[in-house]
Amino acid sequence: MSVAFTPGRIGGRTTRNRVVMAPMTRSRAYGPGNSPTELMATYYAQRASAGLVVTEGTQPSPAGQGYVDTPGLHSDEQVAGWRRVTDAVHARGGLIYAQLMHTGRVGHPDITGRTPVGPSAVRAAGVVHTRSGPQEMVVPEVLDAAGIARTVEDFASAASRAVEAGFDGVELHGANGYLLHQFLSTNANRRTDAWGGDVVGRTRLTLDVAGAAADAIGADRVGLRISPTNPLNDIEEEGHRATYTHLVEALDPLGLAYLHLVEASDVELTGLLRARWSGSLVLNPWTPGRMTGPEDLERLDRGDADLLAFGGLFLANADLPERLRRGGPFNAPDFARAYGGDGAGYTDYPTLAPAPDVDDVAVGA
């Protein structure tokens, strides 16, 4: 049996297995003020058999929203909505972290009524979907020192609200071209002050946010997601190995719950970072052209990581850990219904019939 089906560790908690549900935006926060709904509670509860459930990206402030109908964690009504979700997951014995995602320059005034912010006045190439349809992204407003300080506090405040809402912890989104990743990059961040320029400057915001969240709720409740060399949302990273080895070496003494690595083309970097990280490593493996699947469980058996994150398969297979244990079969996700809508393509995928108990099978029948 693969090590995937043995207990793992996240911070001070033991996980039931080493299969992680990766954070995935679903754009169904239809409650008041972008708050979670009962349908979202059903969705996450269905997937509670994961060793760890990480929620969809959740904005720590109104300025952090970059997509339509994504949830937040900056108001009392959002806390109340998320409490329904966490209660439902915990009722099924699950462990759930809220992913705190500030999208930075990714977004549009038609979504929030405000200009997105970023490290520099550099527009991200590409479009974002608004209620009026797809629109080109805009030049962001540059965060000044006061704006950066507010952003750090927003993350810390959202972390505290997450605990109030019943979450077991938070994952800081430093990947996929969003705000923290923008500061880490060399094309989105063209600053020459203390938050730009060299490796120390470009990693400063991520380190400040991690430290503030750890101070707010305890380091053993805080994880960080990174995606070195991932070009999503028009990101470039010259000298990425120096950036991420410095970042991980500076983070390690904080004692965070985990590091979540979204692997890209530089697969060798995984080993380099693992050697510098003394805590739990969650790996979202590089699988070009396909979704992460059962063949990737060997990465755990080889010791490349402590837990393995699955994205696309979790959309359509709420009981994914059991399906992986049995070797399938797997439902195919309906990506046309991934964002927005009702329960179709969200909570209506079939689950496996319970495996027969050995004592209930007639020997020799």
44, 178, 244, 258: the active-site residue: 178
The single-letter DSSP state of residue 51 is S
Instruction: Please spell the DSSP secondary structure of 91-131, one letter per residue.
Output: HTT--EEEEE---TTSS-HHHHSS--EESSS-PPSSEEEET
CA separation (Å) from 304 to 23, 143, 154, 260? 21, 37, 34, 12
Interhelix angle for 240-251 vs 268-276, to 10°?
A: 30
Annotated catalytic, 30? no
Task: List the beta bridge partners of residue 127.
Answer: 136
Give yes or no for a contact between 315 and 338, defined as CB atoms under 8 angstroms apart.
Answer: yes
141: tokens are 């407003």
Separation of alpha carbons 122 and 106, rounded Å: 11
The set of residues, in sequence order, having a beta carbon less than 8 Å from that of 357 and lying 6+ positions away, is: none
Enzyme catalytic residues: 178
